[in-house]
Chains A and B, each alone.
Chain A
Amino acid sequence: MTRPISKTVNVPVADGDGERYTLKMGPQHPATHGVLRVDLELDGETIIKCSPQVGYLHRGFDKIAENRTYAQSLILTDRLDYIAAMANNVGYCVAVEKLLGISVPLRAKYIRTIVCEMSRIASHLLWLATHALDIGAMTVFLYCFREREVMLDLFEELCGARLTFSYPRIGGVRQDVTRNFIDVLQRFVAEFPTHIGEYETLIDTNRIWLKRTVGIGVLSAAEALELGLTGACLRGSGVDYDIRKHRPYDAYDLVDFEVPLGSDGDIYARYRCRMEELHQSARIIQQCIDQLPPGPIISEDAPDLVMPLQGQRKVEAGSSTYGTGLIRLLEDKGEFPVGDIYVSTEVPKGELGFYFISDGSGRPYRMHVRSPSFIHISALPALAEGSMIADLIANIGTLDVVLGECDR
């Protein structure tokens, strides 16, 4: 067999409409953050057309949830945005609580707020690390991971897991926080602004960083709203929309924090927003620690949805109240409301919404997840078309997408 030589190759050759060629970037590319594939039509290095292809990580969570009780579906939310699983857990629990009309004890609300903000820090650190690495600043990557490790260690101490936590429960949280957890977190929060300063010394006013981010990937406020962006991507364009502030859940109405806004709507504005959010998260955690009230960590209203309390656990095997109470839920169909509900929370990536249609059966008739990453990915062509390959990478970074959440 003769080997083909260069003449027969698929490297670009001039055709009718100039020297355009296509490049299928991903799903196994170092900078597409997981399994994103972007089909590019290029003219030299300029992107003429860009179409993101998603679905490589599709697991059908919306459908799986239909066959599970509400409590069982919690573990699915871990696997949405695996960078900030805790925030997804809380988002899901908040939604189900609203559906079932369960009120959460104050201590649990504070603990949830703490873990939500911790996962925001962990997620934003990973975003900064990879975003900087994409643009070529290698050291920021490792500095960020140093601090992220503290967060993961704390999560491990809290619930035994570092990635898929399933720590919150419908109606509260699983375990109480320990003294050591609070101490370590307190120390971390106190010194965290210094670490943010360290990242900023490397890139914040770096000429090359500014050249790569200022004026690149610009979205006006109107465009950002049109595309349905949320989170820092929307706030970078100057739209004041943060669910923590505007439709507070858990303890967010009890703490004081600011919503950082950008004005330029470029990569740098979004970068500044997220850096400022790190400061605000540290501030929220500090306030929660200071205000943390004593009391129960799971609601009395929904004992069946949580791990049985110490006294309730000694139930004979085989009885209907054994275990987590999931079996009982199915029996008491009458307890469940009929109707539909949409509840959204502010996760690090943006607005994570859960839409349930309940037929009163104890399992959702339909669960839909409004995942911010899926919607943000659709903004990629608007950001990248007309720019260069290097800008595409910066734009994927600035959207802060996680494909687990995008594909569900």
Chain B
Amino acid sequence: MHVLILFIEILILFAIIMLHVAYATYFERKIIGHMQVRMGPMRVGWHGLLQPIADGIKSFFKEDVVPEQADVVTFRAAPIICLTAMLTSLAVIPFAKGWVLANINVGLLFIFAMSSLASYGVILAGWASNSKYTFLGGLRSMAQVISYEVAMGLSLVGVMMLSGTLNLTKIVEAQGGSFGGMYIFPQIIAFFVFFIAMLAETNRVPFDLPEAETELVSGYCTEYSGMRYAIFFMAEYIGMMVMSSIGTICFLGGWNGPFEVTIFPPFWFVVKVYAFMFVFIWIRATLPRYRYDQLMSIGWKVLIPLALGNIVLTGFIKAFTG
């Protein structure tokens, strides 16, 4: 019985997330459109509201092209690895008090593990496509994930030290319901590092090097089309959502808000996640792209020292104030 309920819960979460992913693309296209003095999608449905559905149907019915020279098994597996890893990390995210599929004690670590796994999908896609652009995209992704995973992990150590736990629900509870209790204030350096590493981790502008379309055509997914391409796309958006959720949980006080919305407890969580998503999109419309070596030097020479410094600082403060 318990398993059945869990299964239904998973299905509901999956459906909701997929719908959110579809409309996150709409959200992005509309916002970027208006930032760029154009309208965004307007044709399918009222103000283009059915555009994501149409896109989904289109990519689902497209021909499944596998390049002749590709390593077929890996080529087919790569997008699924990406999507599965991203979806799995949703299991430990508490959307509101008690609204979590698996309330495990190592939630934060679990999410890191999963997001590292997802990058295997990208690397394998780059390798298996057997094209030079995808290969370079895969290489870039590998280097980027390794450097920024470290920075991101270290930036969250401060949060772990303050809350004393890796359980995501407990991290939210440790921040309390008040505005001043949010970890963004005591951990402002960590938030800065986390935010930049988050952009890099999700391959977003200004760190979208693995798929830089003007350099590597489309990076690791150059050879992908149809549904497989759409799966990479979904994985990227779920990745954005997961990272926004982590940011919300660890720095912005999770589901707590100025007042309680009893009909829909995750209200403030959703608002905060979408605020993060908006910033993602805003940055995409504004900034140029870094060069590969510049990206590396930011990761290793700026972010990691900052994160380490933050750990030391947090340690001192904790030691002296109790």
Q: Which chain B positions have C-beta within 8 A of A29? A: 217
A75 → chain B closest CB, angstroms = 33
Interface members, chain A 1-59 (any B CB < 8 Å): 3-6, 9-12, 21, 23, 29-31, 44-45
Contact A136 B69, beta carbon cutoff 8 Å: no
Interface members, chain B 195-218 (any A CB < 8 Å): 205-206, 208-209, 212-217
**What are 12 A-to-B residue pairs whose CB atoms are below 8 Å?**
A10-B132, A30-B213, A134-B214, A137-B287, A138-B205, A138-B285, A139-B285, A146-B37, A208-B206, A388-B292, A390-B209, A393-B214
User: Taking A11-B132, A208-B290, A393-B214 as contacts, is the C-beta distance between A4 and B35 under 8 angstroms?
Assistant: no
User: Taking A9-B130, A29-B217, A389-B136 as contacts, is the C-beta distance between A138 and B36 under 8 angstroms?
Assistant: yes
User: Taking A9-B69, A23-B132, A136-B289 as contacts, is the C-beta distance between A30 and B217 under 8 angstroms?
Assistant: yes
Which among A30, A142, A203 is the interface contact of B214 at CB below 8 angstroms?
Answer: A30
User: Taking A138-B284, A208-B290 as contacts, is the C-beta distance between A6 and B128 under 8 angstroms?
Assistant: yes
Instruction: Report if B97 contacts A (CB, 8 A).
Output: no
Cβ-closest chain B residue relative to A11? B135
Contact B293 A388, beta carbon cutoff 8 Å: yes
Instruction: Report if B38 contacts A (CB, 8 A).
Output: yes
Cβ-closest chain B residue relative to A7? B71
Instruction: Report if A225 contacts B (CB, 8 A).
Output: no
Contact B215 A389, beta carbon cutoff 8 Å: yes
Contact B127 A211, beta carbon cutoff 8 Å: no
Contact A390 B286, beta carbon cutoff 8 Å: no
Contact A136 B132, beta carbon cutoff 8 Å: no
Instruction: Report if A212 contacts B (CB, 8 A).
Output: yes
A267 → chain B closest CB, angstroms = 12
User: Taking A138-B285, A208-B289, A212-B288 as contacts, is the C-beta distance between A6 and B214 under 8 angstroms?
Assistant: no
Instruction: Report if A132 contacts B (CB, 8 A).
Output: yes
Instruction: Report if B72 contacts A (CB, 8 A).
Output: yes
Contact B291 A211, beta carbon cutoff 8 Å: yes
Closest 7 CB pairs of A and B: A136-B289, A31-B214, A136-B288, A142-B36, A137-B288, A6-B71, A390-B291
User: Taking A137-B288, A208-B289, A211-B294 as contacts, is the C-beta distance between A11 and B130 under 8 angstroms?
Assistant: yes
Q: Mark A130-144, 1 if CB is under 8 A from B, else 0.
A: 001111111101110
Q: Mark A366-398, 1 if CB is under 8 A from B, else 0.
A: 000000000000000000000011110100000
Cβ-closest chain A residue relative to B298? A211
In the bound assembly, the distance between CA atoms of A203 and B206 in angstroms comes to 13
Cβ-closest chain A residue relative to B130? A9
Instruction: Report if A206 contacts B (CB, 8 A).
Output: yes
Contact B288 A132, beta carbon cutoff 8 Å: yes
Instruction: Report if A202 contacts B (CB, 8 A).
Output: yes
Instruction: Report if B63 contacts A (CB, 8 A).
Output: no
Instruction: Report if A199 contacts B (CB, 8 A).
Output: no
Q: Which chain B positions have C-beta within 8 A of A208? A: 206, 287-290
Contact A6 B288, beta carbon cutoff 8 Å: no
Cβ-closest chain A residue relative to B74? A6
Q: Which chain B positions have C-beta within 8 A of A391? A: 291
Extra pairs beyond A45-B139, A211-B291, A389-B136 (8, CB < 8 Å): A4-B69, A9-B71, A135-B214, A136-B212, A137-B288, A206-B287, A211-B294, A390-B291
Interface residues on A, range: 35 or more
Cβ-closest chain A residue relative to B292? A45
Which B residues are within 8 Å of any A CB, using their own CB? 32, 35-38, 68-69, 71-72, 74, 127-128, 130, 132, 135-136, 139-140, 205-206, 208-209, 212-217, 284-294
Once A and B bind, how many residue pairs between them come within 8 Å at the CB atom? 102
Instruction: Report if A241 contacts B (CB, 8 A).
Output: no
Q: Which chain A positions have C-beta within 8 A of B290? A: 208, 211-212
Contact B130 A135, beta carbon cutoff 8 Å: no
Instruction: Report if A209 contacts B (CB, 8 A).
Output: yes
Which among A6, A21, A31 is the interface contact of B130 at CB below 8 angstroms?
Answer: A6
Q: Mark A141-176, 1 if CB is under 8 A from B, else 0.
A: 111001000000000000000000000000000000
Cβ-closest chain A residue relative to B73? A5
Which among A142, A202, A388 is the interface contact of B37 at CB below 8 angstroms?
Answer: A142
Q: Which chain A positions have C-beta within 8 A of B213? A: 30-31
Q: Which chain A positions have C-beta within 8 A of B287? A: 136-137, 206, 208
Cβ-closest chain A residue relative to B38? A142
Cβ-closest chain A residue relative to B67? A3
Q: Which chain A positions have C-beta within 8 A of B72? A: 3
Contact B291 A388, beta carbon cutoff 8 Å: yes
Q: Which chain B positions have C-beta within 8 A of A388? A: 291-293
In the bound assembly, the distance between CA atoms of A32 and B177 in angstroms comes to 54
In the bound assembly, the distance between CA atoms of A33 and B156 in angstroms comes to 44
Contact A12 B214, beta carbon cutoff 8 Å: no
Q: Which chain B positions have C-beta within 8 A of A23? A: 132
Contact B37 A143, beta carbon cutoff 8 Å: yes
Cβ-closest chain B residue relative to A216? B291
A275 → chain B closest CB, angstroms = 16
A210 → chain B closest CB, angstroms = 10
Cβ-closest chain B residue relative to A45? B292
Contact A390 B38, beta carbon cutoff 8 Å: no
In the bound assembly, the distance between CA atoms of A142 and B286 in angstroms comes to 12
Contact A21 B217, beta carbon cutoff 8 Å: no
Contact A45 B136, beta carbon cutoff 8 Å: yes
In the bound assembly, the distance between CA atoms of A139 and B293 in angstroms comes to 24
Interface members, chain A 260-319 (any B CB < 8 Å): none
A199 → chain B closest CB, angstroms = 13
Contact A10 B291, beta carbon cutoff 8 Å: no
Cβ-closest chain A residue relative to B209? A390
In the bound assembly, the distance between CA atoms of A132 and B215 in angstroms comes to 13
Cβ-closest chain B residue relative to A133? B214
Q: Which chain B positions have C-beta within 8 A of A202? A: 286
Which among B37, B214, B294 is the interface contact of A136 at CB below 8 angstroms?
Answer: B214
